[in-house]
Chains A and B, each alone.
Chain A
Amino acid sequence: MALGKLVKWARLKSPWALHFNTGACNGCDIEVLATLAPRVDVERFGILLKPSPRHADALIVTGPVTRQCEQRLKLIYEQMPSPKFVVAVGACACSGGIFRGCYNVIGGADRVVPVNSYVPGCPPKPEAIVHGVLVMLEEARGA
């Protein structure tokens, strides 16, 4: 029905993101930030970086999830109102990456929250990150 389609259109065109670093080396984080800069400029797609989880639709997770951050990650996810997505950026967020097996590391965001999109790379280029988000949105549109 028309209203449903309108709402769906709005949700896909206005995905606000929250970025959380769970103990990453900062490599992925700076590439996430680089998506805001003029070369890539994700605001073109309506993506805005928001401070509060209550304002966000997408959670961008970087880092292998250290034990200290595990609870935080869960908490943030719960505080986001639905519908929500999670994007795991970087090898560490996907699976723990090079830190898999380290004593203070849980290993991958999907051990803590459900992940919708995995963007591998160490770190992935900003274009790859944006691609990961857009592909996820496209699939959501089809669903």
Chain B
Amino acid sequence: MRPVEAEDLIGLIHSKAADAVVKVTNPRPTRIYAEVKPGCHREVIDQLLEGFDGLGISTITGVHDRNQIELNYHLRCGGNILTLRTRVPTSEPKIETITDLMPGAILYEREVKDLLGVEFTGLVETERLQLPDGWPKGVYPLRKDCNLDEVSLQTNGGQALEGSNNEETLSELGNIEVVFGPQHPALHEPEKFLFEVDGERVIDIKPRLGYAHRGIEKATEARTLLQDIYLVERICGICNSAHTLCFCQAVEDIADIRVPDRARYLRVIAAELNRIHSHMLLLGSAGLELGLESLFMYVWRDRERVMDALERLTGNRVISALNTFGGTRRDLSPDVAKSILKDLSELRKRMSYYRKVFEEDPTLRLRTLGIGVLSRASSVRLSAVGPVARASGVEFDVRKDDPYAAYGEIPFEIVTFKEGDVYSRLRARVEEVFESIGIVEYAIAHLPSGPYRVRVSRTQPPGEAVCRVEAPRGEDVHYVKTNGTAYPERVKVRSPTLANIASLCTMLRGCFVADIPSILVSIDPCFSCTDRLAFLNVQNGERWSLRADQVSRLRGGRDGR
């Protein structure tokens, strides 16, 4: 099938949706912006869905601009990003939902609703997504005129409301405050999921996110673009390289900065080392979740090689801060390059061993084969990203579809599996590590000489850009809008795990309660949800809550409550 080109998209818009669209611009080969008349966005999306079956939604950005709120629907197709832009008045911010057309958009609409106050008519789930439960109504942090100094959480007799009604019901049942607690050595950011179970099967699931919501997008507006690199980096410590790369590339796009070749290759090296360490981390965590602690110990021991390599290259183990506007902050010396290559060849041998473990260990296979299946069709419909999508047979990898940095010049394979179960997702990551090792070796061997950085001014011209990279967990999207000062107008980040939540819900429906942790770990959640799961027994309306690790002992239903 011929890959979709920008002309195809523009052509379809002009032919099928001409009267819904005011203007179409194509500032870069793979970036299209279409101004859509108010209320006509559904029509355009409908036509696009009919014309292209690989259409997915990456995210929805809301930007508040005095008396109107601009909504950008970032759709992806082939290697292109088509942004549909429409506006609603701030006094009456209402727009129709698109979740019936594109179910993958549900979390994005809820986020815009939560943070900007836009009402999506027809949207079924409307609980708070990111903001805490006691957050006062009518206060929308991302609005420019929002006064945050006076926000205090609504309290309930002196204690801030925490959790939704579930919590109150729980205390009525006489449960002891079970701790919200760790228990998963897998790092996680606390999140909450409400499961509806019938006996031992999960019927439905509702995620409650926001425990780790720090208000980063708002914070970026109060810091200069340069400072924002360091802020954006800490959205997620594990895939920090992807975030800085995406952000830097977005700003470089706006300001038309050409990054030197050497820097592009260095960026690839850092990104791939990042990917390797992230995948190995996940494999170890999967070991813990599945009860194979030895796997965790062995994998993390070998992972230390990668951490050392990162430290030699960037100066820090985890948060690398290598990328900056115009290139990278540090260069790669030949000695360091040699040591990295040595580490990687050792790592290759170890990964072969792990590949064997996954292929042969009977207890592992019992726990992962055929569990939590995500079909290819669902994957596409829900706009899944990353290894989750690839393990279901969808060949979606931003490095190939929309090449950035030096990926266009480096040969590598996209790893896909067909089954879409927990096993495939874990195996896909094992294989991707091999590919990444190959990429780093190639990049080091073909590292161009020359400067690794160009100087960039503190302020950038006004403009906007959408950038995406393939983070270890999938497509990471940054939308940056500048206004001619040193401070950004708006920075929107959609990290990959958010895109996979809808798919996660699909995987979990119909599964055994006891399989929940292994399915959760297989999507490699960056805000992991393993600390708190609430259960609702549909038959008697009883609600209770468990830690996910508790769930692994559970069979649910008959004996357990």
Residues of A within 8 A of B (CB): 18-34, 36-39, 49, 51-53, 63-64, 66-72, 75-76, 79, 97-99, 101-105, 122-123, 125
Contact = CB atoms under 8 A, between A and B. Distances in A.
Interface of B: 131-134, 141, 148, 151, 153, 159-160, 162, 177, 179-183, 185-190, 210-216, 218-219, 222, 230-231, 234-238, 240, 281, 284, 296-298, 300-301, 303-304, 307, 317-319, 526, 547, 549
A71 B238 contact: no
B179 A76 contact: yes
Nearest to B160: A71
A30 B187 contact: yes
Given A70-B160, A123-B237, A75 B219 contact: no
A30 B237 contact: yes
Given A37-B304, A51-B182, A104-B131, A27 B318 contact: yes
| Interface of A: prevailing SS | mixed
Given A23-B213, A38-B301, A67 B237 contact: no
Contacts of B230: 98
B211 A101 contact: no
A18 B182 contact: yes
Contacts of B131: 104
A102 B300 CA distance: 33
Given A19-B185, A123-B319, A66 B212 contact: yes
Contact of A103 (B179, B211, B218): B218
A66 B188 contact: no
5 contacts: A22-B190, A24-B212, A30-B318, A33-B187, A102-B219
Given A38-B300, A76-B179, 10 more contacts: A18-B182, A21-B188, A22-B190, A23-B189, A26-B237, A30-B237, A36-B300, A49-B182, A64-B214, A122-B234
Given A34-B300, A103-B215, A104-B215, A68 B185 contact: no
A66 B219 CA distance: 14
A36 B185 contact: yes
Contacts of B180: 20, 69, 72, 75-76
B162 A71 contact: yes
A125 to B, nearest CB: 6
Contacts of B213: 23, 66, 68, 104
Contacts of B236: 25-26
B177 A51 contact: no
Contact of B297 (A20, A38, A53, A101): A38
Nearest to B162: A71
Given A28-B237, A70-B160, A122-B319, A37 B300 contact: yes
Contacts of A76: 179-181
| Residue in B189, B301, B303 whose Cβ sees the most chain A Cβ within 10 Å | B189
A52 B177 CA distance: 11
Nearest to B131: A104
Nearest to B176: A79
